[in-house]
Amino acid sequence: MQSFALSRGVSTAGGFTLDSSWSGYKTGINNYGPNIIYLRGQTYYCDGDPNKAHVVTGVGWREFSYNGSSVGHQYMEIHDKWWNTAMTVYVAYGRNYDYILFAQFSPR
């Protein structure tokens, strides 16, 4: 993505990997917009198989607080390329996957 933007004259384009924490994800979305989420072993997309991976686009987040804590109530709002998946899906952060990685692109 960075190479594509640079080839189109966007001289400040950058690509980088975000901290895989909840805070890292929220900061990336809030500051740079959509990002790429790599999920391995996720229960819905990969049937929980740690040898399978799927890539989706992170477009937002939702966080709910219960008894003063949001831990366990954090959701990544994602879009997927599969034709049979709803346009917007919420995936719980920190649950139901073996590994996660966030890649961010910034055209700024």
Residue 4 lies in a domain: no
Residue 80 lies in a domain: yes
What is the distance between the alpha carbons of residues 75 and 63, in angstroms, rounded to a whole number? 6
90: closest CA among 78, 101, 103, 81? 78
Residue 64 lies in a domain: yes
**22-66 pLDDT, tens per residue?**
999 999 999 888 899 999 999 988 898 999 999 999 999 999 988
Which strands make up the sheet holding 35-40, listed edge to edge? 14-18, 99-106, 35-40, 53-63, 74-79, 89-92
Q: What pTM was estimated for this model as a whole? A: 0.81
Domain with residue 97: its CATH number is: 3.90.70.10
Cα 50–Cα 78–Cα 6 angle in degrees, nearest 5: 100
What total of structural domains would you count in the chain? 1
Residue with tokens 């709002």: 77
Q: Show the domain range for 69.
A: 17-106
Residues forming a β-bridge with 74: 63
User: Is residue 108 very low, low, confident or very high in pLDDT (cuts 50, 70, 90)?
Assistant: low
Residue 6 lies in a domain: no
Cβ pair 52, 1 in contact under 8 A: no
